Structure 1
Amino acid sequence: MDRGKERNAEVSVEYEAAWLRELPPDVRSDVIDVLTALVADVPRRIRHTEYPRIPLMRVSVCTAGDRPRVEVLRPVDLQGGYWDEFSRWIVGSAAKLLSDRRCGILSYGTSVHDLGPKWAAYALGGPARRDRAVIVHVRHECGVGKVISLPVLFRNPVWARMRFHPAVHTLLANAREPGEG
């Protein structure tokens, strides 16, 4: 990753850290729990191919003290959104899918707009795109909600293995206390 992209990823994560620090302690704890579960689970769920895709996932906590539950969703599970524009569709679906949870996130990769198989992209003259970040819709029962972006890296340019940017791990390690980040 070149230095400009590296700096953009760090700035993005610093912005999310500032938002986390502003949350009340119990809400911050719930949000960090589901984000930590997501960061731990996403790399295990990706098939390590030339163009891996981050799956559509829901991570949620139903009651205080529960362990986060991770579920891989299919596009047909996204109901209640608006089909005319993906961003409106996903926001409406996130609200519906997370409405009965104490805290939850709906996440997907940046290449989610590339619908269809990878071979179709090659047939149309270009390679399929790799995900550059995990887009996360955060919702908490107290009314807190935000869309955040967690940057990802790939270890091998040919046979890609995804990992989160080191700043994401630093964010989660330092975010428990309001004065840190």
Structure 2
Amino acid sequence: MLADQLRVSLQLLVFESAGKAVAAVEAGQADVGFFARDPDRAALIAFTAPYVLIEGWYLVREGSRFSKLEDVDTTGTRLTVGKGSAYDLFLTRQIQHATIERAPTSPTVVETFLETHADVAAGVRQQLEKDAAALAGLRLLPERFMVIEQAMGVARSHGYAAEVHLSDFVERVKANGFIAEALGKHAVAGVTVAPARKS
């Protein structure tokens, strides 16, 4: 849709992790990207307001001593995250006592968590719920640890006009119902359309 409005051709580049997608936009290999807003990424990338909100949750084994969020950030706890993901960046800033261990990508978090016998896996709620349903003996803690703001981003080297145009584009597709319609069409559950940008 953005390419059509700009009257340019479209080439889609797919990366196995959010960190690699961010790096591609920073390096000029891609003009715009879809990833989570994070202050650690904002030096070289200008983000739009979010278009959807995704929840970050913790996953543990059934017999685990962990029952609430506060139990996780304790000395001796091993926490598995997806390398370079939004929740990796967030937890790296927030976690003070637990040890963060990184899986190669977000989809491999639970696999790595099980293989390394870590205590807790962190990830996007939908992925963790899917893995918990497929594998016996796992459960999510009862509340989220963060809200992930999924947005579009453009390299700051493209200039302020590009930043404004992309931000306005995202606000239009939220307001006209396109985002909500796309989520329904593709049966994407567990995410919400982000509110309109504050003036």
Q: Same fold by TM (over 0.5)?
A: no
When Rg is computed on C-alpha atoms for both structures, the one with the higher figure is 2
TM-score (norm 2): 0.26
Structure with the bigger RCO (C-alpha within 8 Å, sep 6+) is 2
Q: TM-score, with normalisation over the residues of structure 1?
A: 0.28
